[in-house]
Amino acid sequence: MTTLTCPDCSAQVGPRDLICFTCGANLPRLAPSVEEPVPITIAQKAVSDRRSQLISSTVLRISFPAGNVEVPAGTSVLLGRDPAESLVAAAFEGCDNVSRRHALITVDDSGRATIRDENSTNGTFVNGDRLLPGIDVRLVDGDTIRLAADVTGSVALPS
């Protein structure tokens, strides 16, 4: 199995990840045939190891058809199509019914996760219930998030 690394910081990333959770860089989409990555130098590994100790581990993962969105503790991720606003805009490329600023996912330092509709045109849904814009709704492990009519993701929130 090929180990994938972030092109900006050389941190290890998953094959379906859309952003690097060490440095926040957008990751390129992989072509069907993946070239072997350039080996990491000892200096790069030392920097990567030090950075991973400073950054919180991933607490929330949402699995969308186009890829995974992971949110570390103490951070927020905007879901939407606008790459200037959303680090994970690539997940919604071609989804015209998803707003440019659709919903905000927040995980606080204690691991409590919430989602808030950002006045999207076609709505944000948790387990089939439409959210009121601007109101934070708690997310738990096993919830289903739907953006607009057909972009669905599964929430994994380890205890």
Q: Which of 137, 119, 113 is nearest to 128 (CA)?
A: 137
Q: Is the pTM of this model over 0.85?
A: no
CA atoms of 45 and 23, how far apart (whole Å): 14
Domains by residue range for the chain, with CATH:
1-55 (2.30.30), 57-159 (2.60.200.20)
103-130 residue pLDDT tens: 999 998 888 999 999 999 999 999 999 9
46-53: list long-range contacts, CB under 8 Å, 24+ apart.
47/9, 47/10, 48/9, 48/10, 48/11, 48/12, 48/22, 51/9, 51/11, 51/22, 51/23, 52/11, 52/22
CA atoms of 7 and 127, how far apart (whole Å): 36
User: What confidence category does residue 47 fall into, taking pLDDT thresholds of 50, 70 and 90?
Assistant: low
Average pLDDT of span 26-54: 62
